[in-house]
Amino acid sequence: MIELSSAPASTASPASPRSAEGKMLPGHAFEIGRDKPLKLDCGVELAPVTIAYQTYGTLNADRSNAVLVCHALTGDQFCAETHPITGKDGWWDSMIGPGRPVDPADYFIISTNVLGGCMGTTGPASINPDTGKPYGLGLPIITIGDMVRAQARLIDHLGIETLFCVIGGSMGAMQVLEWASSYPDRVFCAVPIAGAARHSAQNIAFHEVGRQAVMADPDWRGGDYAGQKVKPVRGLAVARMAAHITYLSEPALHRKFGRNLQDRAAVTYGFDADFQVESYLRYQGSSFVDRFDANSYLYLTRAMDYFDLAAEHGGVLGNAFKGTKTRFCLVSFTSDWLFPTPETREVVHALNAVAANVSFCEIESDKGHDAFLLDEPEMFAVLGGFLKGCAEHRGLRK
């Protein structure tokens, strides 16, 4: 169990965050007002914007021990506590907690729900104050840059000049790279795990399948399902099932399920879930729709597709990090075929090209992309060591 700190008095927010379904959520909410709207990459100035976030540990007097945790596509701010909707453990309990690499005894840990999300931060399910109805597809397209710009506004608000660390996996790693590139002086060390500096053609293709699955559901209603009191649950479940396969690896699926049958001695010669892997996938699909908003899924997959850090810097990835003083530690996994090691290595090469302080570790694992969320002792050892070293440099430890 992690002791939840109260937010510092200065961060007290007018209201608790609420989920896409309107449920009150633990944690805090910060609002970007109409007086200083958030400028999005698409050109729109968005306001008001609510950023739902959670914190663990205590900000030190120097305000120098803050760690920003960035979540992946379907994650949220509840990285290290029981999830208020599913009742499941925090998605990064293995990484964050007492005795873990990111220990709330040492750090002030901040975790936001990303812009476009559905756990309290402004997203397509949020009410558009100009219409009194949910944004739906009326919300402008969000980019990884927009997510990070919104987080930076929160960090400003918390009175933190420089984050000790920005850490995240998958889409979280994209945010880490964007942070290090856009705010080099505000990131002491950066830990992008199982990520990439751009989304590959294959990954865009898988995302497009997911979006088409959602949009093919007649209950999607052009994005206006909330207004019409329906939910595209079947389409979203199919999208999740397809995506879920890409988070695993063939060896992991083989080890976990193989061709094992589901509670039966022989195949049934039908279309029921004969195989355990079918039943598992169906469960992944049907449980996902209870906690995630279909339009958010569209927006966040799109944000990942659009991410291309080199393209934003004249086609040369190194330019994104010129003169950086941030210390980097990159991690990839051998069996991750969604964000395979060469994608991480490309970032490492770009960082080397600008003489950055960079460490890189490819971890032997058969667990696929999801390895970053799982019990991977080597990852904990690598990151624990890296963070300790950085903490010494930062003067957080003697």
Asked if 213 interacts with its own copies (CB under 8 A), we say yes
The span from the CA of 269 to the CA of 256, in Å, is 23
Nearer to its own copies, 36 or 282 (CB): 282
**Residue 308 sits in the site that holds its own copies (CB under 8 A):** yes
Closest CA to 307 of 167, 162, 92, 148: 148
Positions in 26-65 near its own copies (CB under 8 A): 41-43
- 68 forms beta bridges with 110, 166
What track of x and - describes contact with its own copies for positions 137 through 176 (by CB under 8 A)? x--xx-----------------------------------
CA distance 361 to 378: 9
Take residue 275 and report the two structure tokens written for it: 């195989």
Instruction: Show the tokens assigned to 250.
Output: 């063939």
Task: Give residues 253-272 in contact with its own copies (rule: CB under 8 A).
Answer: 253-254, 256-259, 267, 269-271
Instruction: Indicate the residue among 106 and 305 with the shorter CB distance to its own copies.
Output: 305
29 or 38: whose CB is closer to its own copies? 38
All residues at 6 or more sequence positions from 75 whose CB lies less than 8 Å from its CB, including other chains: 91, 172
Active site residue 170: yes
Strand runs labelled E in 170-303: 187-193
Rounded Cα distance between 151 and 68, Å, is 9
Please, what is the minimum distance in Å from the beta carbon of residue 394 to its own copies? 37
Q: Are 303 and 159 in contact (CB under 8 A)?
A: no
Q: How many CB atoms lie within 10 A of CB 116?
A: 29
- Specify binding-site residues for substrate: 240, 370
Q: Which is nearer to its own copies, 97 or 368 (CB)?
A: 368
Active site residues: 170, 336, 369
Q: List interacting residues with its own copies (CB under 8 A).
A: 41-43, 137, 140-141, 198-202, 204-206, 208-209, 211-213, 215-218, 234-235, 237-238, 241-242, 245, 248, 250, 253-254, 256-259, 267, 269-271, 273-275, 277-278, 281-282, 285, 298, 302, 305-306, 308, 311, 337, 340
